[in-house]
Amino acid sequence: MGLLYYLKSGKAQSLTESCKYHLRHCFSYACILSAFVLLCPANAVYGQLSLLDKVISIPKQNTTLYEALNLISQKADCSFIYESETIESNKRVKLHAENQPLGKVLDNLLSDPRLEYKILGRHILIYRAGKEVNPAITIQPDIPAKDTIKNVLIKGHIYDRENKTAIPYATIGIVEENIGTVTNNDGFFTIKIPASLIGTYLVVSHLGYMSQVIPLRLLNEQNVDLYLDRRIISIQEVIIRYIDPELIIRNAMEQRKKNNAVNPAYLTTFYREGVRKNTNYISYSEAVFKIYKPPYTAGEHADQVKLLKSRKVRDTNPRDTVFLKLKAGVESALLLDIVKNVPGFLDQATPPEYTYKYSDMLSYNARDAYAITFVQKEGLDRALYKGTVYIEKEGFALLGADFEINPDYLDIAARDLVLKKSSRLIVKLEKINYSVSYLPLNGRYYLNHVRCEIQVKTRLKNHLSSDNFFTFLELATCNIDTAGVIKFPRQEILKPDIVFSDQPYDASDAFWGDFNTIAPEAKLSEALSKIIGKIEEIE
């Protein structure tokens, strides 16, 4: 799985590869969580008039507009869609309804003449007056999209409704078409969907939350905030009995033939990696790959990767004594497919190396899932993993895992993961964590999202100052195709030791065309803007 080659000291020189720990114990670069929970929308559609005429009563109170809309949605059994900044969701408002129709309650609440709303089914979109709302959201039978409109673009944030915190790695997609993406660390997403699918539904989901199914027609060309509700599994839903965590993991491994792909598939994926030194990014790269993904029973290196498009940016200083660089990141990301490349915490070797514990019961796509925690057994002097693996209760499908190299043994791990190129350099691993998730399609689960983050501190001997490096890589599946899948011609396959070309970074929004991507986080976008500005000044 790749080694973390390390640092040269001296003039501007090379540096680290990536984590490729012994397959039995630790993996390689990557990480992610997030589950592509795709539900088919099966709710009855309410007529616009019947929803507006629905009579509700709410005691008089002074609250925020956000809380007022939440309360109304509960009383009227509807969902509101809006951008928080547009409606000033933290503004204090007076709410009172005594046997009043929903339409009148909304008119009183949204007294701001700049705000308007549209209704589709039981969903209500609130937007600023004067902003163009695509006619495609008009409530009428589906009309084929015009040839001149190629894609529908939707942007927004996904939040936890209870505490309003961003939900990273939530999955957003169109179920029937296998199109999707994930939110970034800020909970932000952008997704492009063919205009011909305007009559379909967007599904938003994340492990532990109730999925949202929203008519795409209502979201067309909108920037929205969407809120997910946590699904709490009551004690009555759980049979009080002893749960054997080791048996659950063993069942998951035995059920791979039933739950995971036994035929090859094409995965169109978005990949990105970055290196930050202290507070400044020194390199950032993105690419779209088409991956030939064979059955999980294929060999460790059987996946094939074809580069479709890429861009990168660097900001190096000749005076830097240490330079960190990722190598073969995409290969390392694919090696984090824990269904195919089974790590020690799923292998249950003899003698056992891990202690397992049933931790929680979570919701996944309206189904229950086990959360099983694991940590290496006491007395083992090797650096293994600790973390949580998620397994569906009913079919024992492996949904994903969040894990890290045991923090108590990072110094030991450094011996295998870090290759020091200079005896003058002291390298200390601070943290290495991973996240992996799978998405369901036609009864089978496919690799959805992986992410790995590594924190390293370096110091030259006889120097007091040190540098902190943060590096990450991330891969998300945006499309799955199972028809007519064959291996790529030899000349099209990306070499394992090459990530992608030296294509200059093009910051234009149009660069990716029809491809879906993961949006850079706000701080990362700001950092990239500064780097690109420097490059433009030099050129």
Task: Indicate the SS3 state at residue 376.
Answer: strand
What pLDDT sits at residue 49? 54
Residue 67, number of CB atoms within 10 A of its CB: 15
What pLDDT sits at residue 509? 72
Three-state DSSP string of 34-77? CCCCCCCCCCCCCCHHHHHCCEEEEEEEEEEHHHHHHHHHHHHC
Measure the CA–CA gap between 369 and 367, rounded to whole angstroms: 7
Give the mean pLDDT of the chain: 80
Residue ranges per domain, the chain?
4-33+264-350+407-538, 44-121
Consecutive 10-residue averages of pLDDT for the chain (539 residues): 38 36 40 30 44 89 92 91 86 90 88 83 84 43 48 92 93 88 94 91 92 89 89 58 88 96 95 90 90 91 91 71 59 92 88 91 85 93 94 95 94 75 80 94 93 91 88 94 94 71 65 90 84 52
What angle do helix axes 102-109 and 65-76 make, rounded to 10 degrees? 180
Give the architecture (CATH level 2) of 44-121: 3-Layer(bab) Sandwich (3.55)
What pLDDT sits at residue 488? 95
Inter-residue contact 33 to 449 (CB < 8 Å): yes
What pLDDT sits at residue 289? 94
Which amino acid appears at position 388 of this protein?
Answer: T
Per the listing, tokens 């997609």 go with 173
The pLDDT tens digits for 453-497 are: 999 998 888 888 888 999 999 999 999 999 999 999 999 998 755
Inter-residue contact 312 to 324 (CB < 8 Å): no
Cα dist from 73 to 106, 121, 310, 359, whole Å: 11, 13, 43, 33
What pLDDT sits at residue 220? 79
Measure the CA–CA gap between 218 and 494, rounded to whole angstroms: 40
Which amino acid appears at position 294 of this protein?
Answer: P
What pLDDT sits at residue 249? 95
- What's this model's pTM, rounded to 2 decimal places? 0.82
What pLDDT sits at residue 497? 55
Burial (0-12, 13-18, 19+ Cβ within 10 Å), 72: buried
In 3D, which of 185, 192, 229 has the Cα closest to residue 79? 229
What pLDDT sits at residue 363? 84
What pLDDT sits at residue 5? 35
Q: Which residues of 39-48 are buried (b: 16+ CB within 10 A; e: fewer)?
A: bebeeeebee
What pLDDT sits at residue 136? 42
SS3 content of the chain, % helix, strand, coil (to 5): 20, 40, 40
The pLDDT tens digits for 240-292 are: 567 899 999 999 999 999 999 999 999 999 999 998 989 888 888 899 999 99
In 3D, which of 228, 347, 328 has the Cα closest to residue 285? 328
Structure-block tokens of residue 13? 């020189």
What pLDDT sits at residue 388? 97
Measure the CA–CA gap between 73 and 417, rounded to whole angstroms: 52
Task: Indicate the SS3 state at residue 108.
Answer: helix
What pLDDT sits at residue 24? 44
Q: What is the DSSP letter of 521?
A: P
